[in-house]
Homo-oligomer: A and B are copies of this chain.
Amino acid sequence: MTTNQKKHIVVYDTTLRDGAQSEGLSLSIEDKLRIAHRLDEMGIPFIEGGWPGANPKDGQFFWRLKEEPLTHAEVVAFCSTRRPGKLAAEDPMLQGILSAETHWVTIFGKSWDLHVTEGLHTTLEENLAMICDTIEYLRSQGRRVIYDAEHWFDGYKQNRKYALKTLETALNAGAEWLVFCDTNGGTLPHEITQIVREVFQALPQIQATGVQLGIHTHNDSETAVANAIAAVLEGATMVQGTINGYGERCGNANLCSLIPNLQLKLGFHCIPQAELEQLTETSRLISEVANLAPDEHAPFVGLSAFAHKGGIHVSAVQRNPLTYEHIQPEKIGNRRRIVISDQAGLSNVLEKARSFGIDLNKEDETCRKILQKLKDLEHQGYQFEAAEASFELLMREALGEREHFFEMRGFQVHCDKGAGDINSLATVKVTINGKDILEAAEGNGPVSALDAALRKALMNFYPEISQFHLADYKVRILDGGSGTSAKTRVLIESRNCHKRWSTVGVSTNIIEASYQAVVEGLEYGLILHKQAKLAVTNAYS
């Protein structure tokens, strides 16, 4: 299965072009530059930057990149073949792509006869001329050309002979790469295998001229990654895809899954191993830049990808990880997570303590106490899987190591709705260093009012609180069947400029559940701040 050992596979990233077509994703030029530089650092050799001329943003991006050039990667401009009935040299679209001044350009052309006659309203012969002229013209202007054969697989199934002719035309005109695009995303892996194999047989000049094949897949059948692998196993040497699988409709082939599959399982070389270890961070960074919540269940790079529940299972995975993990998470910069849940055993608690930097011994009475407390709280509806900061506070409390920065004495929340808008007001009473503080604030809901009042009360004593932000707020009704009297669980994610942490609260009163999570979020932030200050002091002492 791995006859292609150590063969290089060229990764072609199209996050900035095809990925940016994703519904709900919108990238500024600054965002695009940041992503391009990150991909460059990762060792991705080709980065498709956009279609210069299609919109002002894409053109500007290429210019800005000249001021802050990439180190290794080639940035590629993307464009279609010339318009029907025009000369390539006179088509303003192609002048646009030349003005981007890249070494490489990607030209897409039609492979499917129906798209030529019904989409472009031109003849099959003219389409061949468009492919030929465009590539020859760009070659004459010193560009190297990648040819994207749009709708390849559908076109091939409908009119094999014509599809092959388009590919042969691109090859003869001087394209160095021929890329099979499954534009509609409907093809299944066994079809990819068969068709790529047939193309190699039908066009022996591919191997004779040293032209190489690439694969560009979409995820409409949930097989984009498998489709790309199928083509590689048949001899394709370029894979096109996007980080996190972003892309229109259901997305493109996900490079965060494709690269580790090719490199760690099939023995191909895609990017340096040291860079592969940055994959998880890259995935999360790019989802941050794109302002999209990361998919926690994403293969390889997701938060849950190497999460283990349950006692026996946990001790087994610690003894021999490969019996329960398909790859070592460290190889792609992810890590094993022992999930705290009601199936937890002592080994889970110990593992967690270690990750918090807390020294705990299996024989300690405290260890058993923590486990019991955990189970009691989970029975009440608390859930610590996604609230590790609350779990660490619980652990420190049990060990008598929890520092109390402030003491909550009480709060009041008031919402008032008349004919117009609703008003929300909160007051809080806090004791800090023996001093009682009473503060009030408004918000656009009861919880935001409470949060605001609390921050106001603490700010004079702990100004660092101004750097803590609420990053996420989730509410879950635990027993919906009891209606509005149901228990409510609130999860809050907080962040400062370095870190994120999550806390939990549970109550039949949603305000109180939120309050618990908000208070612990602030308390944990203060611990982090103190630890960071201490680390700096130690470094200088």
Contacts and interface: CB of A to CB of B under 8 A. Distances in A.
A21 B424 CA distance: 39
Contacts of A327: 186
A275 interface: no
A473 B483 contact: yes
Contacts of A509: 415, 422, 424, 444-446
Given A299-B222, A415-B509, A186 B326 contact: yes
A189 B444 contact: no
A511 B475 contact: no
Contacts of A413: 413-415, 446
A416 interface: yes
Contact of A411 (B298, B305, B417): B417
A335 to B, nearest CB: 13
A191 B250 contact: no
Nearest to A260: B221
A447 B447 CA distance: 14
A197 to B, nearest CB: 13
Contact of A510 (B266, B416, B445, B472): B445
A511 B484 CA distance: 11
B472 A483 contact: yes
Given A28-B481, A297-B22, A411-B417, A510 B446 contact: yes
A408 B349 CA distance: 52
A118 B484 CA distance: 49
A265 interface: yes
Contact of A23 (B219, B229, B304): B304
A511 to B, nearest CB: 5
Nearest to A420: B410
A445 to B, nearest CB: 4
Contact of A249 (B307, B471, B511): B307
Contacts of A101: none
A184 to B, nearest CB: 5
Contacts of A512: 415, 417, 422, 445
A448 interface: yes
A377 interface: no
Given A257-B221, A339-B23, A414-B414, A305 B250 contact: yes
Interface stretch (A66-74, A277-285, A315-323, A357-365): A315-323
A307 B219 contact: no
B222 A296 contact: no
Interface string A499-511: 0000000011111
B483 A471 contact: yes
Interface in A215-255: 219-223, 225-227, 229-230, 233, 248-251, 254
B316 A118 contact: yes
Given A1-B190, A23-B307, A471-B483, A221 B225 contact: yes
A445 B488 contact: yes
A189 B191 contact: no
A156 B281 CA distance: 34
The interface residues of chain A, by DSSP majority, are classed as mixed
B194 A1 contact: yes
Nearest to A222: B257
A93 interface: no
A-side interface size class: 35 or more
Interface string A394-415: 0000000000000001111111
Contacts of A250: 297-299, 302, 304-305
A268 to B, nearest CB: 12
Contact of A480 (B22, B326, B472): B472
A302 B226 CA distance: 20
Contact of A445 (B306, B386, B508): B508
A326 B217 CA distance: 13
A216 to B, nearest CB: 15
Contacts of A473: 477, 480, 482-484, 486
Given A221-B257, A483-B472, A511 B446 contact: yes
B184 A511 contact: no
A390 to B, nearest CB: 16
A476 B296 CA distance: 18
Contacts of A434: none
Closest 5 pairs between A and B when the two form their complex, measured CB to CB:
A186-B326, A470-B483, A226-B226, A222-B257, A445-B509
27 contacts: A1-B191, A24-B304, A26-B383, A114-B320, A114-B323, A184-B324, A189-B230, A220-B326, A221-B257, A222-B225, A222-B254, A222-B257, A250-B299, A409-B419, A410-B416, A411-B415, A415-B512, A417-B512, A443-B484, A444-B508, A445-B484, A447-B484, A448-B483, A448-B485, A450-B484, A471-B481, A484-B518
Given A118-B316, A189-B226, A484-B514, 16 more contacts: A22-B297, A23-B385, A24-B304, A30-B481, A188-B226, A190-B233, A250-B297, A409-B418, A411-B415, A422-B511, A447-B510, A448-B483, A450-B484, A451-B484, A471-B483, A475-B476
